[in-house]
């Protein structure tokens, strides 16, 4: 039996939707994110429409001014800037979403088990969580990203995969990005496990696993959703930093981070090449944070319809 909330015959989902719409910055940010996502997904179509190729090198067309064929001009190799930004958005947004979801999955499992089981099991998991939180994250990620993956005993086919750097960044970031979700879920599980509907399920003979998955977890969807949304922006920023340092997504695969890296030596000659990816990173991270704030306000069970 799950907790449900109604107010004047209106469903909780409808109330949450209305509260979210009242958060103007969150709504605007959600629209911005939808535009960025649709633009990134439409990169092949835009590439075909413009009659260009993201990887085509044209040294005679270096640093071309914006035109109908190249709306944002070309880079130092004559490649279309707009199309490369859109393909870079595919990579950066994919890394952010995938790593955040994986981290949320691990954090939810650890927090749910710790909060419900309690005792020494809870203490052990929380000390591990505190240890991960205490790590200097960025230096540690830099060290892990710099490791030679050929010496890790991985299959040869995986090592030679052109997307191996993409997979590595997702795994590295996800392994250390679960702590916030774990602490939030643990706090919720500690509160819910003493509720009457959980005690009734336990008295009826339901297993611990069923109680956690069927009776407790559905009531923790709100904090999990909020923490995952906020984590996406942070992960995109981390991926951009690692790529900027040359330890993340490697060329020729574009990402906003390595596009920014390639532009740093041309900052005086073509400052726009650095402004475009930097602005996209800034807008995306801020938008995810505002959407997270809006979801937090909308999904807060203490918030009532006014």
300-306: long-range contacts, CB 8 A cutoff, minimum separation 24: 300/222, 301/5, 301/222, 303/19, 304/7, 305/7, 305/8, 305/10, 305/15, 305/18, 305/19
pLDDT of residue 243: 79
pLDDT of residue 201: 85
pLDDT of residue 15: 79
pLDDT of residue 85: 92
pLDDT of residue 3: 43
The pLDDT profile of the chain, 306 residues, written as one tens digit per residue, is: 444 444 443 567 787 778 888 888 999 999 999 999 999 999 999 988 888 888 888 888 888 888 888 888 888 888 889 999 999 999 889 988 999 999 999 999 999 999 988 888 989 999 999 888 888 877 877 777 777 676 666 677 666 666 777 788 888 888 888 888 999 999 989 888 888 888 888 888 888 888 888 888 888 888 898 889 888 888 888 888 887 777 777 777 888 888 888 888 888 888 888 899 989 999 999 999 999 888 888 876 655 444
Preceding amide of 252 cis, omega within 30: yes
Query: In the block, which residue shows the tokens 């649709």?
Result: 38
pLDDT of residue 240: 82
Query: In the block, which residue shows the tokens 């994986």?
Result: 102
pLDDT of residue 306: 45
Q: pTM of the full predicted structure?
A: 0.83
User: CA angle 76-49-37, nearest 5°?
Assistant: 80
pLDDT of residue 152: 66
CA atoms of 225 and 246, how far apart (whole Å):
32
pLDDT of residue 5: 40
Contact 244, 201 (CB under 8 A): no
Architecture in CATH for domain 19-47+71-299: Orthogonal Bundle (1.10)
């Amino acid at each position: 039996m799950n907790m449900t909330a109604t107010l004047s015959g209106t469903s909780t989902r409808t109330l949450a939707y209305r509260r979210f719409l009242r958060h103007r910055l969150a709504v605007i940010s959600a629209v911005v994110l939808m535009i960025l996502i649709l633009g990134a997904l439409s990169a092949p179509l835009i590439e075909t429409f413009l009659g260009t190729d993201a990887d085509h090198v044209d040294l005679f067309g270096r640093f071309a001014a914006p035109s109908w064929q190249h709306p944002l001009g070309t880079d130092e190799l004559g490649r279309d800037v707009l199309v490369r930004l859109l393909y870079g958005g595919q990579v950066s947004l994919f890394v952010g979403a995938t790593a955040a979801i994986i981290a949320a999955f691990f954090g939810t499992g650890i927090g749910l088990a710790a909060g419900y089981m309690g005792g020494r099991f809870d203490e052990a998991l929380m000390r591990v969580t505190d240890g991960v939180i205490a790590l200097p994250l960025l230096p540690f990620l830099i060290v892990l990203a710099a490791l030679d993956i050929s010496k890790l005993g991985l299959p040869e086919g995986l090592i030679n995969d052109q997307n191996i750097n993409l997979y590595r960044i997702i795994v590295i970031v996800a392994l250390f990005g679960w702590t916030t979700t774990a602490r939030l879920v643990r706090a919720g599980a500690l509160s819910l496990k003493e509720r009457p509907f959980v005690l009734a399920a336990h008295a009826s003979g339901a297993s611990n696993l069923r109680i956690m998955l069927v009776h407790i977890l559905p009531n923790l969807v709100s904090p999990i959703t909020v923490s995952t949304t906020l984590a996406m922006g942070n992960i995109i920023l981390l991926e951009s930093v690692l790529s900027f340092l040359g330890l993340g997504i490697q060329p020729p695969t574009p990402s906003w981070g390595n596009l920014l890296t390639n532009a740093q030596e041309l900052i005086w000659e073509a400052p726009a090449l650095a402004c475009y990816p930097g602005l996209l990173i800034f807008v995306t991270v801020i938008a995810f944070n505002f959407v997270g704030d809006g979801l937090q306000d909308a999904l807060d069970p203490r918030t009532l319809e006014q």
